[in-house]
Structure 1
Amino acid sequence: MQTFPLRGEYIQLIQLLKALNWVEHGAMAQYVVEEGLVKYNGEVDYRKRLKVRTGDVVEFEGQQVKVI
């Protein structure tokens, strides 16, 4: 599992996917979230603007990241 250092209180889920280079662009980030391909703390979450905070774990295509 990789880690992502958070700068600030939170990062939106679609921004995190782009920052990790797990998707090529914002439209793709929105698509994978809308299609239920992303897990947030072990559960599928469809909110594109979800606020990911310290301690949260995001999963996509067999990859995991813990926000620190």
Structure 2
Amino acid sequence: MENIYISTEYIKLDQLLKFVNAVEGGGMAKNVILDGLVKVNGEVELQRGKKLREGDIVEFNGEEYIISTEEK
């Protein structure tokens, strides 16, 4: 599981996928989310604008990312 540090209150799901280089761009992020390939906290998430906050866990393509507001 990879810690992802954000300095804001939240990050949107599609932005996170681009930030961690899990997808090549916004269009690809939109497609993988709408295709049901991304989970947030264990549930399939279809909203690309889903706001992720500290403690949320995103699963995609065999990788897990946990959102953190403090660098560890």
- Normalising to structure 2: TM-score of the pair? 0.93
Q: Partner letter of residue 19 of structure 2?
A: A
Provide the aligned C-alpha RMSD in A: 0.4
Q: Distance in 2 between matches of 1:5 and 1:26?
A: 20
Q: 1:40 maps to what in 2? A: 40
Q: 2:54 maps to what in 1? A: 54
Q: Partner letter of residue 46 of structure 2?
A: Y
Once the two structures are superposed, residues 3-61 of structure 1 have per-residue CA deviations (whole angstroms, 9 ceiling, x without a partner) of 10011110000000000000000000000000000000000010010000000000001
Note the residue ranges of structure 2 that are not aligned, 5 or more in a row: none
Q: How many residues align?
A: 68
| Fraction of identical pairs, as percent | 47
Q: Distance in 2 between matches of 1:15 and 1:33?
A: 12
2:23 equivalent to 1:23? yes
Note the residue ranges of structure 1 that are not aligned, 5 or more in a row: none
